[in-house]
Amino acid sequence: MNQEQLDKVTTGKGFIAALDQSGGSTPKALKLYGVEETAYQGDAEMFDQVHAMRSRIVASPAFNGQRVLGAILFEMTMDRQFEGRDAATYLWANKQVVPFLKVDKGLADEADGVQLMKAMPELDALLKRAVAKGIFGTKMRSVVNTANAKGIDAVVAQQFVVGKQILAAGLMPIIEPEVNIKATDKKEAEALLKAALLKALDALGADQKVMLKLSIPTVDGFYAELVAHPKVVRVVALSGGYSRDDSNAMLAKNPGVIASFSRALTEGLSAQQSDADFNAALDKAIESIYQASNT
Kindly report, residue by residue over 145-196, the tens digit of the pLDDT: 999 999 999 999 999 999 999 999 999 999 999 999 999 999 999 999 999 9
Q: Looking at residue 124, what is its pLDDT?
A: 96
Q: Looking at residue 267, what is its pLDDT?
A: 87
Q: What percent of the chain has pLDDT over 90?
A: 81
The residue among 194, 149, 148, 188 whose CA lies nearest residue 175 is 194
Q: Which of 8, 194, 209, 213 is catalytic?
A: 213
213 is catalytic: yes
Q: Which of 8, 95, 102, 176 is catalytic?
A: 176
Q: Is 28 exposed, middle or buried (0-12, 13-18, 19+ CB in 10 A)?
A: exposed
Q: Looking at residue 23, what is its pLDDT?
A: 59
> Distance of alpha carbon 241 from its chain centroid, rounded?
14
**Which of 43-57, 59-73, 97-111 is least confident?**
43-57
CA distances from 45 to 42, 86, 105, 199 (A): 6, 20, 21, 45
The residue among 160, 157, 219, 158 whose CA lies nearest residue 186 is 219
130 pLDDT exceeds 80? yes
Q: Which helix (H) or strand (E) holds 68?
A: strand 68-73
58 pLDDT exceeds 90? yes
C-alpha angle with apex 48: 68 to 19, nearest 5 degrees?
A: 20
- pLDDT class of 41 with cuts at 50, 70, 90: confident
Q: Looking at residue 113, what is its pLDDT?
A: 96
Distance in angstroms (rounded) separating the CA atoms of residues 140 and 177: 8
176 is catalytic: yes
Q: Looking at residue 264, what is its pLDDT?
A: 86
Distance in angstroms (rounded) separating the CA atoms of residues 161 and 155: 10
Q: What is the mean pLDDT of the chain?
A: 94
Mean local confidence (pLDDT), 79-98? 95
Angle between helix axes 244-251 and 275-293 (nearest 10 degrees) is 20
Highest mean pLDDT among 48-52, 91-95, 269-273: 91-95
Distance in angstroms (rounded) separating the CA atoms of residues 220 and 217: 6
